Structures are given as structure tokens and as C-alpha cells.
């Protein structure tokens, strides 16, 4: 079956540090890949996505590249801010009944950025 393995947290960084959160996946076929972010007390928000191999998703300074050869989708940001403190989820998307998008999530990585 499909699965997503994420770097375990929590991760604590100083402001302006470089961020990498590792994500690898196991899937049949050609899934789409996503990063979602969750702020305290809120639902998940889509951060970025990539739909095919070698695609790079980017948003708000975050980037991730869909690497089929290594089955990875690592999240990176060159200079984190305190406001980036949140939980980050990697997910893979497949199509199910009625063409519904079905997401399989990793366990999440808590990021804390200190001033």
C-alpha cells in the first residue's frame, strides 16, 4: 500500500537558519505529492505541491522537488522565520472512487523557530 515517512521531530532552529524536512514515500503508480502546514488550533493548509517527476513546488520561500529515483519530496527553506513555526505534513495523493483525491499523510514534523 501507499505510505509516507517523514523526518521525526521536533525540529528547533534559530531564525534565518536553513531548513530541511525529509520525506520519502512508497506508492504504486504515479502519485502527486504535497506539503501541508498546520498552525496551532487550525486545520491543514496546502503549502506546495508537485504532480510529476522532477516538478518543483514552491511557495512562501519553501521548495520541494519530486524525485522519483529516490522516492523523495524533501521540504527546504533557505532562511526560516519565527512565523514558520508549525507542524509540517508530507502527503501523497492518489485517485479513488468517483475520481476522489485520496491523501496519505506522514506523521508530521513539529518545527519551532527561535528568535
Partner 1 sequence: DAGITQSPRHKVTETGTPVTLRCHQTENHRYMYWYRQDPGHGLRLIHYSYGVKDTDKGEVSDGYSVSRSKTEDFLLTLESATSSQTSVYFCAISGGGGNSPLHFGNGTRLTVT
- Report, in Å, the least distance between residue 71 CB and partner 1: 18
Candidate residues 29, 40, 41, 115; the one interacting with partner 1 per rule CB under 8 A: 41
| Count of beta carbons in the 10 Å neighbourhood of residue 83 | 10
Residue with cell 502546514: 37
Candidate residues 46, 53, 82, 114; the one interacting with partner 1 per rule CB under 8 A: 46
Candidate residues 19, 21, 25, 32; the one interacting with partner 1 per rule CB under 8 A: 32
Asked if 63 contacts 57 with a C-beta cutoff of 8 angstroms, the reply is yes
Q: How many residues bind partner 1 (CB under 8 A)?
A: 29
Let me know how many helices (H) and strands (E) the chain has, helices first.
0, 12
Asked if 50 contacts 73 with a C-beta cutoff of 8 angstroms, the reply is yes
Note the residues at the interface with partner 1 (CB under 8 A): 4, 6, 32, 34, 36, 41-46, 49, 51, 89, 93, 95-108
Amino acid at each position: 500500500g501507499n505510505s509516507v515517512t517523514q523526518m521525526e521531530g521536533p525540529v528547533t532552529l534559530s531564525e534565518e537558519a536553513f531548513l530541511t524536512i525529509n520525506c520519502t514515500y512508497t506508492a504504486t503508480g504515479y502519485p502527486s505529492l504535497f506539503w501541508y502546514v498546520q498552525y496551532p488550533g487550525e486545520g491543514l493548509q496546502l503549502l506546495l505541491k508537485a504532480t510529476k517527476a522532477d516538478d518543483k513546488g514552491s511557495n512562501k520561500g519553501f521548495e520541494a522537488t519530486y524525485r522519483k529515483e529516490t522516492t523523495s519530496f524533501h521540504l527546504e527553506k533557505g532562511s526560516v522565520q519565527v512565523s514558520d513555526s508549525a507542524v509540517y505534513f508530507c502527503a501523497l495523493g492518489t485517485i479513488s472512487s468517483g475520481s476522489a483525491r485520496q491523501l496519505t499523510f506522514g506523521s508530521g514534523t513539529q518545527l519551532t523557530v527561535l528568535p
